[in-house]
Amino acid sequence: MESHMGAAQQRRAFWLKHLHQWHWISSALCLIGMLLFAVTGFTLNHAGQIEAEPKVVVRNAEAPGPVLAALQARKAALEGDTGDRSDRSGNNGGNRDGNRGNNAAQDKTPVPAELADWLQREFDIDAHGREAEWSPDEIYVPLPRPGGDAWVSVALDSGEAQYELTTRGWISYLNDLHKGRNTGGAWSLFLDLFAFACLVFCVTGLFLLKLHAGARVATWPLVGLGLVAPLLLAILFIH
């Protein structure tokens, strides 16, 4: 009997040690992120009451000749490719919707390297790898970002370029980090790792509650309240 109790105590001590270790490590990894998400959860829930005044900055410039020539050549190549595709589609049955789809596919292409390099020098913006939208008279590059928006357009006839940057303040920026809006692949990976760390933190916390529940009679009623309260609110008040 004593040996059985001793083995049980050893197993309990083993699990307590490892659960506490994983719990504190995951909590340390989650701490700053949890604070950020708690604060931005409140600001998002009260977004209508927290006003943000957008600030808009507009800059103008003129693309140099080599850049403009490269854009015009690229536009001509796109139009030629679209024409070839349209002819082939017409010969295969004259599907008007298919032609429209081919045209739409050609309207968006990666930003030409010549333009991206010039935008980097002129406006200090990184457009490499971005998607550009082509129209008959201009190329338009959307530059969405957390906490605001931006875009740049270049007229294909004159080379006139306009860059517009809109910022909505730190609260909007943090809210967009919370939502993962226009934050890029690195932040998306961080959110995945953060979610996994939170999962470890919660699961190890649940097992620690189980191990300590015998000495804390309010443990399971409180856990049940944490489950029932949002469930009842969703059932009764969300329609």
Query: Starting at the edge strand that comes first in sequence, how are the strands of the sheet with 55-62 ordered?
Result: 55-62, 160-167, 148-155, 138-142, 131-134, 108-110
| Contacts (Cβ under 8 Å, ≥6 apart) of 14 | none
Residue 95 has pLDDT above 70, yes or no: no
Contact by Cβ (8 Å): 163, 123: yes
6-46 pLDDT per residue, tens: 677 777 788 888 899 999 999 999 999 999 999 999 999 99
- Higher-pLDDT residue of 91 and 33 is 33
In single-letter form, the type of residue at position 25 comes to: I
pTM to 2 decimal places: 0.78
How high is the pLDDT of residue 84? 55
How high is the pLDDT of residue 146? 95
Region 194-200: what's the mean pLDDT? Answer: 95
Cα–Cα separations (whole angstroms), residue 68 to 31, 113, 158 = 50, 12, 8
128-144 pLDDT per residue, tens: 999 999 999 999 999 99
**What does the alpha-carbon distance between residue 108 and residue 140 come to, in Å, rounded to a whole number?**
9
Average pLDDT, the chain: 87
Contact by Cβ (8 Å): 148, 54: yes
Burial group, residue 44, by CB count within 10 angstroms (0-12, 13-18, 19+)? middle
How high is the pLDDT of residue 8? 72
164-180 pLDDT per residue, tens: 999 999 999 999 999 99
How high is the pLDDT of residue 101? 42
Residue 52 has pLDDT above 90, yes or no: no
How high is the pLDDT of residue 65? 94
How high is the pLDDT of residue 195? 95
- Higher-pLDDT residue of 6 and 113 is 113
